[in-house]
Chain A
C-alpha cells in the first residue's frame, strides 16, 4: 500500500472547522450509551483547550432517528432543525457543533437542500414562525465534534500523558478507524479527507502515536440501519454487517477500534458480545475482543483521565487489554462503583483471557 496516495487525497479535502464559540447540541444515543464521552468532550474543550462552548437548555433532538426511521416526515424534521438554529441565533452563536453523526449528516443535507431550493427554506421559515414564533440564521460554520477534536489533535498530543503505543514493544498500536456513514458518504467534501479515505480519525490516531489499519470492509456500514436495529425481527441485518467488518479486519490484528458516530461504537461493542454468545467467536488476539472507543474516550485516555471517568465501564467488550498495553494506570476495583455505592459489583463482560 502506498501511503503517499492517501496523503494526496487527504490534502484535497480541506474543511473549514470553526476554532471557538461553539453552539453544542447533544446526541440522543450518546447521552444514553456514552454519557462519559460527552462529558469528556466538554471537559477537553473547556478545561484543556479553553474554548467557549455553549449548550442551550431548551435544545432537543434533531429528530434524526425518527426521520431515518421514516415516521417523521421531512417537513417536520426540517422545521425541528430550524428551531435548533433559532436557539443558536437567540444565544448569539454562529458555529454549530453537533455531537451526533446522524445529526451532522442531517444538518448538512438540509442546508444543502435549502441552498438548492430556496423556496423550501422559505416555507420552513414560515412553518417555524407559525408554530413557535421563532426566526433563525443559517450557521456560519457546521462541524462535527470529531472535526473539532481532529482540529486540536496536536494541542491534545502536546498535553498527552500517554501515547497509542505498546509499552512493552514500543510499537504503535494498530488502530481501526471506523467512520459513521452519515459523516462523509452523502457530501464527501464536508468530511475531513473525503468519503473514501477519511482522515478525521486517522489524523488523531497518527498524532497520538498509533498506526492506522486499512482492511477491505473499512467503509462498510456497521449495520445500524435504524429500523434494521430498532425492530427485533430485523436485527440480524445489523449483526451481519458488523460481523462482516470483524471478519475482514481480523487478519490485520488490530488492537482497538475508534469511531466517531454515536451508534457505531455501541454496535461494534455489543455485537462482539452477541457473536461470542451465539458462535463462541472472538476477534481480538489471545481470546480477547477488540475494544471499541469513541474519539473522546481515546483523547481522554491519552490525556490521562481516569478510564472510569470516561465511562469505559459501560462497554460490554472489555477495554482493559488496551489500558494494559498502553500502560495506563487504573483501579479495577473501582470499575463498577458508582460513587455513592462503594460495594464491589460484578458484571459479565466479554472477558479477556
Chain B
C-alpha cells in the first residue's frame, strides 16, 4: 500500500505479540521501530521447552518470528525502554532511555505479561523450602533434560499446584490465568516421560481445558500416564526434616482432608500485567482494567484498542492468552493499525 510506506509505527515490546505485529506491519510496507527492554527479543516463549498442545520445541516459534522480522523496514532496538511518551495531535513523540527520539504515526503496545511471583503465595514456601519450584523452573529443567530435587536426587513423588496467583483474593488476582491447567497437564506428562516410575499428583480446583486439544491432553494424562488428579486447592506446604514437602489439601470429591509427603512441589504460576506494561500505562495514560491489564474499548469487537486514539494493544498485555491467541491478536491489531493509518476520506 503506497499510502502506508511513509508511515512509521512504534512497537513497544519484543515478545511474541510485538514480533508478530512488527512483522505483519512491515509486510504491509510500513516502517517499524521495535523497542525491547531486555537484551534479546523473544519474550517468554524462549523460556519454555515443549509447547502445548502439539509439543513442538518453542525455538520453532522463535525461528518463525525471527524470520518474520528480518525485513529491512524493521529496526529492532534491544535494551531499550520508553522514557517519555507524548501525543501531539495525530503523532506520537517518544524518547528512549538511550536518548533516541522517535516520531510515530501509531503505536502498538505489546508489553506482555509477568509470571506471578510465587513467593507472594507465602504458604507454599517458594524461595524458602528447597523443593518448591514453579512451572517456569520446571521448564528449564526439561530443556536440560534433568529433573532433580535440590540435592540432585531424582524425585519420585511430584505434586503440581494449580491456580497459584490466580482466582485468589488473598493475592489480589481474582481472574483465571487460563493456561496453567493445561501447563500442569503437559508438565505432568513430561515428568512421567522422564521418570517412568514417578507418581504425579495435580491438585486443582477446576480443570480449565478450553483450548484446542487441551481436553484430549487431560485424558491422555490420565489414561496413558496415570497422572492422579485430586480436586482440592493446596492449603499449605511445609518442609520435613529430610527436606521433603508436606502438603495439606482436601480431596473434595471424597470429602476428606489429607496430608501428603512429596519430593517436589511445582507451582503453576499465573499471569499478571507486566512491570513494563505498568510503566507504559503511567507514561502514556493508558487505562487499566480491574485485573490491572490494559482496558480494551470493547470486550467483543474492540480488544485491540484502548482509551488513546492511535495506540493499539497486542497480546497478553490485555489478558492471559496462549501463543496461538497472541499471534492472532497481534494480527488483528495490525489490521486495526492499517485501517487507522489510511488517509482520512477514503
Q: Which residues of A contact B (CB under 8 A)?
A: 1-6, 8-9, 194-197, 214-219, 251-252
Which residues 106-140 of B sit at the A interface, judged by CB distance below 8 A? 119, 122-123, 125-130
Residues of A within 8 A of B241 (CB): 215, 251-252
Smallest Cβ-Cβ distance to A219: which chain B residue: B236
Smallest Cβ-Cβ distance to B170: which chain A residue: A188
The one of B130, B238, B246 in contact with A2, judged by C-beta atoms closer than 8 angstroms, is B130
Give B234 Cβ to nearest chain A Cβ, in Å. Answer: 13
Q: Do residues B122 and A196 form an inter-chain contact, with CB atoms below 8 A?
A: yes
Q: Do residues A197 and B239 form an inter-chain contact, with CB atoms below 8 A?
A: no
* Given A216-B238, A252-B241; A197-B130 close (CB under 8 Å): no
Give B271 Cβ to nearest chain A Cβ, in Å. Answer: 22
Dominant secondary structure of chain A at its interface with chain B: loop
Q: How large is the interface on B (under 10, 10 to 19, 20 to 34, 35 or more residues)?
A: 10 to 19
Smallest Cβ-Cβ distance to A249: which chain B residue: B241
Interface presence of B240 (CB below 8 A):
yes
Q: Do residues A1 and B240 form an inter-chain contact, with CB atoms below 8 A?
A: no
Instruction: Across the A-B interface, give the 6 residue pairs with the lowest CB-CB distance, nearest first.
Output: A5-B127, A5-B128, A196-B122, A216-B238, A251-B241, A216-B246
Known: A4-B127, A5-B127, A251-B241. 12 other contacts (CB 8 A): A1-B130, A1-B239, A5-B126, A194-B122, A196-B122, A196-B236, A197-B122, A197-B128, A215-B241, A216-B239, A216-B240, A218-B238
Smallest Cβ-Cβ distance to B243: which chain A residue: A1
Smallest Cβ-Cβ distance to B129: which chain A residue: A1
Docked Cα-Cα span, A153 to B119, in Å, equals 28
Q: Do residues A6 and B240 form an inter-chain contact, with CB atoms below 8 A?
A: no
Q: Do residues B127 and A2 form an inter-chain contact, with CB atoms below 8 A?
A: yes
Give B178 Cβ to nearest chain A Cβ, in Å. Answer: 27
Smallest Cβ-Cβ distance to B119: which chain A residue: A5
Residues of A within 8 A of B243 (CB): 1
Residues of A within 8 A of B128 (CB): 1-3, 5-6, 197
Give A135 Cβ to nearest chain B Cβ, in Å. Answer: 36
Give B232 Cβ to nearest chain A Cβ, in Å. Answer: 18
Q: Do residues A214 and B239 form an inter-chain contact, with CB atoms below 8 A?
A: yes
Docked Cα-Cα span, A251 to B243, in Å, equals 12
Smallest Cβ-Cβ distance to A9: which chain B residue: B122
Give B117 Cβ to nearest chain A Cβ, in Å. Answer: 10
